[in-house]
Amino acid sequence: MDSDVEGDLPRFAFSGRGAVRRVDRSSQEAAMYEVLRQIKAGVGGGIIKLGERHVCRFCGNTDPRRFRQRAHTFPEALGNHWVISRDECDDCNAKFSKYEDALVKAVGIILTVGGEKGKGHSSRRQTGRTGSASTVRHLRDADGNRRISTRLRGDGSSVRLAWQRDVLTIRHSVAPEKFVPRYAYKALTKMAYALLPDEELANYGQTRTWLLDVNDSEDFPVLEVALSFTLLGNAPPLAVGTLLRRSDPLAPIPHILFLLSIGSLCFQIDLRSDHLEDHLPPIPIGQTVEGWRIGCATNSGPQPEPYVLTYSKPSILNWSSKTPRLQPVEELLFHKCMRTTAAEFELVMRDEPWLEDSGDDADVPG
């Protein structure tokens, strides 16, 4: 059975330099952490260049001939077109691209639904191969109008419709694409390391070595990632990278947290230091930052209107595995109120044992 579902989406645009106004945190988290560094970028702002030119902070390379490529601090494929690293050489950039590819595959359906412009500012996104059982496309025309289309082939078991009061819900199975979780985690760690002030670099020598070893043999039972969303289907064109450092050096919490808010996505990880967490007891999975919000300006003109992006409660993932796993989103839900015509998307996360247990010997469905 072939099935198509299409819907026009409203525009959401930022304008003006410094369109990202502020980032708020919950009062509890604010008491435990202070902002160590924050990079804010988006449509309407200029290019932000980080780091010392021609000195690679990852491998130490100082040959100017090895800095010909533009290294994006946050992956361009996630929607970052503004923040670049001058202190990342071509060799490290090529190595880290393997990590970034894994991260992009992990959240491919979210990028497609959100419509983030990827490499080369492409306005076309697709999840699932053309001709496969399940595909989702997000297109944007020359006027900026967005359109999402889904196509399902087969016996219809991958799509379900349900009515509840005035709301029609369409459940769409997501193509079972695979990614390497540890590579995806390393992509986030690399971004965090790229933002570290010089004063903190000495605390993360082992992290740097780990990043440079693509096929590391470290035995990490858990590498925790908190993943949350906002404005699914209408991704805001922004990128905000934040390092939070604990206010009390002896507090029983991680030394530094890294948060990346980009488009519809927000990632959160602990940036593991060499020794500054040695005094910590085991921290339960899921003890992470919540209540993350970003204040923005949403239209052009002399007085842009404020808008607050509030991210959902995070889904907690374990990205320690070095073998390919299914991307974490299992279903895409589209809710439409037939009375008001209001519509929204919802993601259903995959219930997989490896989210709690790295289990590298577990089988992955094909």
340 within a domain of the structure (yes/no):
yes
Q: In whole angstroms, what is the distance from residue 147 CA to residue 7 CA? A: 6
pLDDT for the residue 232: 74
Which residues, in sequence order, are CB contacts of 341 under 8 Å at separation 6+?
Answer: none
366 within a domain of the structure (yes/no):
no
How would residue 343 be classed by pLDDT, with cut points 50, 70 and 90?
confident
361 within a domain of the structure (yes/no):
no
33 within a domain of the structure (yes/no):
yes
Token code pair at residue 261: 């808010």
Between 21 and 349, the more confident residue is: 349
Q: In whole angstroms, what is the distance from residue 134 CA to residue 109 CA? A: 11
From the list 45, 70, 56, the residue with the least C-alpha distance to 190 is 56
pLDDT at 201 over 90: yes
Which residues, in sequence order, are CB contacts of 57 under 8 Å at separation 6+?
Answer: 51, 87, 88, 193, 194, 201
Q: In whole angstroms, what is the distance from residue 258 CA to residue 196 CA? A: 10
How would residue 43 be classed by pLDDT, with cut points 50, 70 and 90?
confident
- Of 15-29, 198-212, 309-323, 330-344, the range with the lowest mean pLDDT is 15-29
- Mean residue pLDDT across the chain: 77
Token code pair at residue 342: 């209001």
Cβ 270 vs Cβ 282: under 8 Å: no
How would residue 68 be classed by pLDDT, with cut points 50, 70 and 90?
very high
pLDDT at 312 over 80: yes
Q: In whole angstroms, what is the distance from residue 253 CA to residue 287 CA? A: 9
Mean pLDDT of 303-329: 85
pLDDT for the residue 308: 76
Between 291 and 310, the more confident residue is: 310
- Pinpoint the alpha helices (H) of the chain: 27-32, 90-106, 108-114, 181-195, 198-201, 205-212
What is the sign of the dihedral through the CA atoms of 3, 116, 36 and 71? positive
- Of 26-30, 78-82, 99-103, 245-249, the range with the lowest mean pLDDT is 26-30
362 within a domain of the structure (yes/no):
no
47 within a domain of the structure (yes/no):
yes
Cβ 169 vs Cβ 335: under 8 Å: yes
Which residues, in sequence order, are CB contacts of 12 under 8 Å at separation 6+?
Answer: 231, 234, 235, 236, 298
What type of residue sits at position 158? Answer: S
pLDDT for the residue 105: 93
Between 12 and 292, the more confident residue is: 292
Between 42 and 149, the more confident residue is: 42
How would residue 258 be classed by pLDDT, with cut points 50, 70 and 90?
very high
Transcribe 243-299 into DSSP letters.
EEEESSTTSSS-SEEEEEEETTEEEEEEE--SSTTTTPPPPPTT------EEEEE-S
Q: Long-range CB contacts (< 8 A, 24+ apart) of 272-276?
A: 272/207, 273/203, 273/204, 273/207, 274/203, 274/204, 274/205, 274/206, 274/207, 275/203, 276/203, 276/249
Between 238 and 235, the more confident residue is: 238
pLDDT for the residue 311: 84
- Of 3-17, 52-66, 245-259, 269-283, the range with the lowest mean pLDDT is 3-17
How would residue 11 be classed by pLDDT, with cut points 50, 70 and 90?
very low
pLDDT at 79 over 80: yes
Q: Which domain holds residue 290?
A: 3-355
- Of 50-54, 80-84, 140-144, the range with the lowest mean pLDDT is 140-144
Q: Percentage of the chain with pLDDT > 70? A: 67
Q: What is the pLDDT of residues 103-112, one digit of tens each?
A: 999 998 888 7
pLDDT at 272 over 80: yes
Between 10 and 145, the more confident residue is: 145
DSSP 204: G
360 within a domain of the structure (yes/no):
no
Token code pair at residue 271: 């940036």
Q: In whole angstroms, what is the distance from residue 145 CA to residue 12 CA? A: 10
Q: How many domains does the chain have?
A: 1
Cβ 75 vs Cβ 100: under 8 Å: yes
When computed from its CA atoms, the radius of gyration of the chain, rounded to whole angstroms, is 21
Which residues, in sequence order, are CB contacts of 75 under 8 Å at separation 6+?
Answer: 100, 103, 104, 187
pLDDT for the residue 342: 76
- Pinpoint the alpha helices (H) of 12-162: 27-32, 90-106, 108-114
Between 151 and 19, the more confident residue is: 151
Mean pLDDT of 109-124: 63
Between 99 and 354, the more confident residue is: 99
Cβ 271 vs Cβ 204: under 8 Å: yes
pLDDT for the residue 366: 37
pLDDT for the residue 206: 96
365 within a domain of the structure (yes/no):
no
How would residue 134 be classed by pLDDT, with cut points 50, 70 and 90?
low
Cβ 214 vs Cβ 100: under 8 Å: no
